[in-house]
Amino acid sequence: MTERAPSLNLRDLFAAKDAAAAKRRAEEREAEEHKKAELAAFSERVQTYEITEEDRERALSRIRRAFEAGERELMLIKFPSTLCEDGGRRINNQLEGWQDTLPGVFHKIYHWWETELQPGGFTFSARIIDFPGGMPGDVGIFIGWPSSLD
């Protein structure tokens, strides 16, 4: 009778487990590097983007639709708080000068509101809208209005 080699052994099982774990770690590193590259590219666009007339018209159309639907505010856009010079701390705590921490195009949106929408009675606010892991996540920029003119 010939002796058969075991069809299953612990060395092979541990090697397969280690290989699978190494593959997962490599995929996680690759995903994290991709996420960082996307954030860097987005950050660059935020700093250089100029608001177009089409952007303004699209925003005004969204505001009109929200108003007609009975809403009191519209989140115009959101972005990672890490793009703020202080990581969103001033916005989160509504400290004086919070609007000065808005990066690039988001500060331009504030200026657009200040010159074109505020005179018409609209409000502007920025808030941290989520807290992943307990830390400030995305910042939402909101345009608001009262429920009546009284």
Residues of the chain with pLDDT under 50: none
What per-residue confidence (pLDDT) applies to 1? 59
pLDDT at position 53, please? 96
Query: Which residue type occupies 64?
Result: R
- Residue 4: what are its φ and ψ, rounded to 5°? -90, 145
For position 144, what pLDDT does the model report? 97
pLDDT for 2 equals: 65
State the greatest distance between any 2 C-alpha atoms of the chain, in Å, as a whole number: 99
| Cβ contact 140:127 at 8 Å | yes
What is the model's pLDDT at position 27? 93
Beta pairing partners, 134? none
| pTM of the predicted model as reported, rounded to 2 decimal places | 0.78
| Residue 21, pLDDT score | 93
Question: What is residue 37's predicted lDDT score, i.e. its pLDDT?
Answer: 86
Rounded Cα–Cα distance for residues 74 and 145 (Å): 9
Residue boundaries of the structural domains of the chain: 9-48, 52-144
